Amino acid sequence: MTDCVLGAILVLSGLGVTFGALMTGLSWRSAKTWPRVQARLKRSAIEERRNVIGPTLILDQYRPALTYAYEIKGRTYEGRRITFWDRRLWDDDRRKAEEKIARLGEEFLIAVSPRRPHKAVIEFRLTSRELDFLGVVGVTGLLVAGVGGWVVWMMCPWQF
């Protein structure tokens, strides 16, 4: 019976990973057609995280954290999303995070979802490397789900 549970967990986990990769890719693709709107910087800061990698290696990383305001049809919205790929923002050099904020300036263009104006993003492009990674993650999720399906098929007592 534990094999059946393990198989079901693998199926659900694999499908969840594949779904997440697919949704990120679709969000990126649709954002290419979203209208551009002028946004105003309200707050900027540098977030810091410390990664402990083994007993002797500690890696400090930094990323910009922004709050910006924009207006759609007379209504003001606030946004915090910088990119669809948050991992790209973290850097070992604090100055690079500060430069990303300085490059934006006080006013900049953002992409806003026409159907859900509360969803906006500053950098709406993914690099080819990020797209490749999404593809690998999606296929890996399908492989994990397939292994889980095989485990359920072969090990569970009921017949399909």
The predicted pLDDT at position 47 comes to: 86
Same-domain pairing of 88 and 49? yes
Would 110 be classed as within a structural domain?
yes
The predicted pLDDT at position 19 comes to: 94
Same-domain pairing of 118 and 136? no
Q: What is the residue-wise DSSP string for 1-39?
A: -HHHHHHHHHHHHHHHHHHHHHHHHHHHHHHTTSPEEEE
Same-domain pairing of 102 and 146? no
Same-domain pairing of 58 and 108? yes
pLDDT by position in tens, the chain (length 160):
688 889 999 999 999 999 998 988 888 788 888 999 999 999 888 888 887 877 778 788 888 888 999 999 999 999 998 887 766 677 777 888 788 778 778 888 999 999 899 989 887 677 777 788 888 999 999 999 999 999 988 888 775 5
Domain of 45 in residue numbering reads as 34-124
Same-domain pairing of 119 and 131? no
Would 55 be classed as within a structural domain?
yes
The predicted pLDDT at position 10 comes to: 93
The predicted pLDDT at position 2 comes to: 81
Would 19 be classed as within a structural domain?
no
Would 16 be classed as within a structural domain?
no
The predicted pLDDT at position 87 comes to: 67
Same-domain pairing of 118 and 131? no
Would 114 be classed as within a structural domain?
yes
- The amino acid at residue 7 is G
pTM, entire model = 0.66
Identify the DSSP state of 83.
Answer: B
Would 81 be classed as within a structural domain?
yes
Q: Where are the alpha helices (DSSP H) in the chain?
A: 2-31, 94-104, 128-155
Cα 119 to Cα 27: distance, rounded to the nearest angstrom: 11
